[in-house]
Amino acid sequence: MQAILSFLTEIFSQPAFLMGLIAFVGLVALRSPGNKLLTGTLKPILGYLMLSAGAGVIVANLNPLGGIIEAGFNIRGVIPNNEAIVSVAQKMLGVETMSILLLGFIFNLIIARCTKYKYIFLTGHHSFFLACLFSAVLQAAEFQGWMLILIGGFLLGSWSAISPAIGQRYTRQVTEDGGIAMGHFGSLGYYLSAWIASRTGNPANSFADTEISEKSGAFCAIPRSPPVS
């Protein structure tokens, strides 16, 4: 019995396998066929392992550069990139992040089912980033174990359900009530911009009709993929 418990502990202490387990449970609930069950479980595991490997490369290359910059200019550099920071943080907070991610989604479903906030947050990488942030902040606040995971999961699930609702009226205007919501944790800035525009702008004027010079035209060709909820 002790050997079985030790084996299970080893499995659940590995973030990659924990993410694969989350995907497996979801696919089973959807009654997916065997081939999709296999590939759908392996992809998150392999993706997380690749993320961890990338973190090792980032740390190995940036540590010497950080030392040079600090010694030469007496300043400390930062990495202003979510993917890089999160991948490095997973080496210390992988299990906590994955657990908060899973519990946060469960709380999101419960809140959407039982309250007026009927939004399911589907922008997975943003949920992943915020789960990592909560795990780091709560650990710095000296929370540990299940208390850290429970608080982080509740915060993630609550904000996942509430944040799309805050500016939904603006999203409806843009999408002509297309039945979608903004699933992005930077949405407060968008909603503030929309509110200011509603007070100062003219709805008859569309940005699509704005003429842009050839010198600035390159910026219009940058593709963007909006997240949804």
Does the structure show a pLDDT above 60 at 148?
Answer: yes
Per-residue pLDDT at 149 exceeds 60: yes
pLDDT value of residue 88: 72
Could you tell me how far CA 122 lies from the centroid of its own chain?
Answer: 9
**Across-strand partners of 182?**
228
Distance CA 73, CA 94 (A): 33
pLDDT digits (tens, 9 = 90+) for 171-201: 888 777 767 888 888 888 888 888 888 888 7
Residue 15 to residues 12, 76, 78, Cα–Cα distance (Å): 7, 30, 25
Give domain limits for the chain. Answer: 1-77, 80-202
- CA dihedral of residues 218, 220, 222, 223 (deg, nearest 10): -150
Q: What are phi and psi of 118, to 5 degrees?
A: -90, 60
Mind listing the pLDDT tens digit for each residue in 199-225? 887 777 776 667 776 666 566 655 554
How much is the pLDDT for 225? 47
Cβ atoms of 227 and 183 closer than 8 Å: yes
- How many C-beta atoms surround the C-beta of residue 66 within 10 A? 15
What separation in angstroms does the CA of 54 have from each of 83, 113, 134, 172? 10, 38, 22, 39
d(CA 171, CA 190): 10
Would you state the structure tokens that stand for residue 54, as one six-digit string?
């990338």
Q: How far apart are CA 102 and CA 227, in angstroms?
A: 19
- Tell me how far apart the alpha carbons of residues 207 and 192 are, in angstroms, rounded to a whole number: 18
